[in-house]
Amino acid sequence: MDESGKSQDPEESVRSQPPEPPEPGKEPRTPPPGKRKGTGGGILMGRPFGVPVYVAPSWFLVAALITWVFGGQLERVLPELGAARYLVSLFFAVAFYASVLVHELAHTVAALRFKLPVRRIQLQFFGGVSEIEKETETPGREFVLAFVGPLLSLALAGVFYAAMQLVEPDTVPGVLVAGLMISNLIVAIFNLLPGLPLDGGRMLRALVWKITGKPMSGTIAAAWVGRALAVTVLIGLPLLTHTGALGNARPEIGGADSLTDALLAAILAAIIWTGAGNSLRMARLRERLPDLTARTLTRRAVPVETDTPLSEALRRANDAGARALVVVDRQGTPTALVREAAIVGVPDHRRPWVAVGTLAQDLKEGMRVSAEFAGEDLLEYLRATPATEYLVVEETGEIYGVLSTADVERAFVSAMARKPA
């Protein structure tokens, strides 16, 4: 299970993505991490605990693959089923992903208990993803949040093992229960491997964080172990299959089966490597997020009344060294912001005849930002109340200036591009 970035890891939960700075009507040139394309992410299946669960289109591909592979195994074990074996195999695919959903719900429930918002759960190719939007505050909570997923998978494996004692082995129920027991055991063991973006990597991160007192040190250690794990999977999985450690031995390297093993190993290794890199990148970005403060990004503004000619308002701004205009009433109370894009669209020769009020956007609820906002709190606020400009105010209510989302975006992109010291 992963901590950040949207890696699609086997039975992985993606964690804590920093919210993106919004710019309504304009897609950022470099989308921030965690940028969502659309609002869904697949077919909405329900909202357990208030969290939407989506099935991604890629799930149907892997469900078809499981149905085909498991159907071939059923043909050897229960040949009397005939074509009906594929219906049984499809049921197994659905039941297996129901187990994956239980795994993800374990993470979700733990996150909600820790007051961490969960954006959604997505079932997709190679497993599930839980999108938890904030970091845990302590290494202990990090460890618990990561461990509950594999723990539930182990519990499910135990339940199915107990069920195996109640059914005949060479029957449809017997084969299904055995397959679900083995698959949940594999999910648990795989996710306990100590490298990001897997759950075991998050547990390792928590341990190093606890020892060093530095969450970044834990992320670096777990990410590099994750990269080593990716290389091990790439090389080791085909060798284990060839030697028979994972099933029937294949005497020769080559042929369709060996190619399939190599392709599967490459896909898994790429997912783990990418997920580890994303986790490290996002952790470094999160370290820099506190530098994004409303106070430092705010443009100095001058107050003008609504009937002030644009040319006069710009002259006052230039004299004061300001880069923004705030429309105020007769009592000096701010009522609107003059949009930068609207100013640019007015030719110079027209500016003496255009009142700033015609270019202004009324201040609506959510368009006032505290000058003390910084980091993830600032980005989350802007994402929740999208606008192009915001009025920045002191705690006393005094006008501090105007914050442009374009400036926030540039600062965000700069933070992503800056190399670590």
Q: What pLDDT does 247 receive?
A: 52
Answering whether pTM is above 0.75, one says no
Banded model confidence at residue 186, pLDDT cuts 50, 70, 90? very high
Length of the chain: 421
Residues sharing a CB contact under 8 Å with residue 338, sequence separation 6 or more, in sequence order: 304, 313, 324, 325, 326, 327, 356, 359, 360, 361
For residue 418, give the 3-state DSSP assignment. Answer: coil
Q: Is residue 36 pLDDT above 50, yes or no?
A: no
For residue 304, how many other CB atoms are within 10 A of its CB?
23
Q: What pLDDT does 50 receive?
A: 93
Question: Residues 192-236: pLDDT tens digits?
Answer: 999 999 999 999 999 999 999 998 899 999 999 999 999 999 988
Least confident residue range of 108-122, 154-168, 261-275, 315-329:
261-275
Q: What pLDDT does 230 receive?
A: 92
CA angle 164, 60, 79 (to 5 degrees): 45
Q: Is residue 289 pLDDT above 90, yes or no?
A: no
Q: What pLDDT does 242 receive?
A: 64
For residue 220, how many other CB atoms are within 10 A of its CB?
19
Q: Is residue 290 pLDDT above 90, yes or no?
A: no
Question: Residues 376-396: pLDDT tens digits?
Answer: 788 888 888 888 899 999 888
Contact (Cβ atoms closer than 8 angstroms) between residue 241 and residue 261: yes
Question: Residues 341-376: pLDDT tens digits?
Answer: 899 999 999 999 999 999 999 998 889 999 998 887
**Strands 360-362 and 53-55: what pairing?**
unpaired
Q: Is residue 5 pLDDT above 70, yes or no?
A: no
19 vs 375: CA distance, rounded Å: 10
Closest to 127 measured CA to CA, from 53, 59, 201, 67:
59
Banded model confidence at residue 26, pLDDT cuts 50, 70, 90? very low
Question: Residues 302-311: pLDDT tens digits?
Answer: 999 999 999 9
Q: Is residue 13 pLDDT above 60, yes or no?
A: no
Average pLDDT, the chain: 83
Banded model confidence at residue 291, pLDDT cuts 50, 70, 90? confident
Residue with tokens 């609002």: 39
Q: What pLDDT does 28 receive?
A: 34
For residue 339, give the 3-state DSSP assignment. Answer: coil
Q: What pLDDT does 4 receive?
A: 37
Closest to 35 measured CA to CA, from 27, 44, 24, 43:
27
Q: Is residue 253 pLDDT above 60, yes or no?
A: no
284 vs 272: CA distance, rounded Å: 18
Q: What pLDDT does 169 receive?
A: 86
Q: Is residue 10 pLDDT above 90, yes or no?
A: no
Q: What pLDDT does 33 receive?
A: 33
Q: Is residue 401 pLDDT above 70, yes or no?
A: yes
Percent of all residues in the chain with a pLDDT value above 70, rounded to a whole number: 84
Contact (Cβ atoms closer than 8 angstroms) between residue 15 and residue 4: yes
Q: What pLDDT does 374 receive?
A: 87
Q: Is residue 117 pLDDT above 80, yes or no?
A: yes
Closest to 177 measured CA to CA, from 123, 104, 90, 96:
96
Q: Directed axis angle between helix 405-417 and helix 375-384, to 10°?
A: 140
What amino acid is encoded at 379 in this protein? L
37 vs 352: CA distance, rounded Å: 43
CA angle 68, 70, 76 (to 5 degrees): 110
For residue 363, give the 3-state DSSP assignment. Answer: coil
Could you give the C-alpha distances from 52 to 47, 385, 402, in angstroms and in order? Answer: 4, 21, 36
Q: What pLDDT does 367 receive?
A: 92
Which tokens sit at 50? 């208030």
Banded model confidence at residue 8, pLDDT cuts 50, 70, 90? very low
Question: Residues 46-90: pLDDT tens digits?
Answer: 999 999 999 998 888 888 988 988 888 888 888 888 888 899 999
Q: What pLDDT does 419 receive?
A: 59
- Residue scoring higher pLDDT (69 or 97): 97
For residue 30, give the 3-state DSSP assignment. Answer: coil
